[in-house]
Structure 1
Amino acid sequence: MTTVRRVPIVCNAFCMPSYAHWGDAGADMRADVPEPVTIEPMQSAWVGTGVRVAIPDGFVGLQFPRSGLGCNHGICLANGTGVIDSGYRGEIRAKLLNLGQEPFTVNLGDRVCQLVLVPYARAAFVPVAELPASSRGTDGYGSTGVR
């Protein structure tokens, strides 16, 4: 069952994060730019969203790229996934990277990324001489094969 949490937010009405469908994990975030921003191939640019939130303690905001921008235009987030801690109160901005072959222009109100709120567990790291055994052990990338 999906739990709805109230999250304090400061933004203009047009850039309020919104879910496209009930059950979506990611809320679309829109560009709040004074003029269009064109990103050339293999270049990046900061795009403001005009959104500031108070993420509840025990949660983290994860900023993800939009699938359609990535698959159709080669637009991704420069840092892959952004981490927004609960204590941050500044504007959430997106550093968009154009991996496509054509310039890409972001206009006011365009959906540029998604915000997902996720509960987390804070770790208490404990130094030990050895880690407990596991079935995987130290096998890394590609260890399970191709098929």
Structure 2
Amino acid sequence: MEKYILKVEKISDNAIIPNYANKGDAGLDLYSINELILESGERGLVHTGIKIELPENTEAQIRPRSGLALKHGISLVNSPGTIDEGYRGEIGVIVINHGQEVFKVESGMKIAQMVIKPVWRVQVDEVKSLSDAQRGDRGFGSSGV
């Protein structure tokens, strides 16, 4: 199996390098470097204090943590967030409090997970029509609730 290298640069002294909590985990834990108070329904930007350089032909998907979602109603506004291969800025996580209580993000807290995935680059062709499919153009809810 080919080995892929994720390069990580700390831009804050209290940044924590992303890591896998358990063998076989898909997501690397991302950690907050700032404190943030989120009222119910409020969203905010959590800083991680890191920059990354992804392996060629990959993306990083930023996803919510299930424990924060279940226990506190904390999720990500744009989930999954996509970090493109060429981005070199700080990794930020846009969180939202769907819970009914105030939530405090603390420095050093696991705030999200980052999954590295391959990316296929496709050729885009404009056509006059598309091939038929069993589903056709039936959309939202067409296969049942």
Q: What's the TM-score, normalizing by structure 1?
A: 0.91
Aligned residues: 143
Tell me which residue corresponds to 2:21.
20
The amino acid across from 2:25 in the alignment is D
Over residues 35-80 of structure 1, what are the superposed CA-to-partner deviations in whole Å (9 max), with x where a residue is unaligned?
x211111111111011110012200110001111111111111112
Over residues 82-119 of structure 1, what are the superposed CA-to-partner deviations in whole Å (9 max), with x where a residue is unaligned?
11001001110111110110000011110000100000
Tell me which residue corresponds to 2:89.
90
**How much has 1:22 moved relative to structure 2?**
1.0
Distance 1:118 1:91 in 2: 19
Aligned Cα root-mean-square deviation (Å):
1.6
Distance 2:77 2:132 in 1: 36
**How much has 1:3 moved relative to structure 2?**
5.7
Q: Percent identity?
A: 36
4+ residue segments displaced more than 6 Å: none
Provide the secondary structure at the position in 1 that maps to 2:59: strand
1:137 aligns with 2:136: yes
Provide the secondary structure at the position in 2 that maps to 1:71: helix
Provide the secondary structure at the position in 2 that maps to 1:15: coil
Distance 2:16 2:2 in 1: 23
Distance 2:43 2:71 in 1: 17
Tell me which residue corresponds to 2:64.
65
Q: How does 1:31-50 map to 2 (within 5 A)?
A: 31-33=32-34, 36-50=35-49
Distance 2:95 2:45 in 1: 6
2:14–2:49: 8 Å Cα contact kept in structure 1? no
1:74 aligns with 2:73: yes
5+ residue gaps, structure 2: none
- Larger mean CA deviation between 82-91 and 130-139 belongs to 130-139
Distance 1:120 1:138 in 2: 26
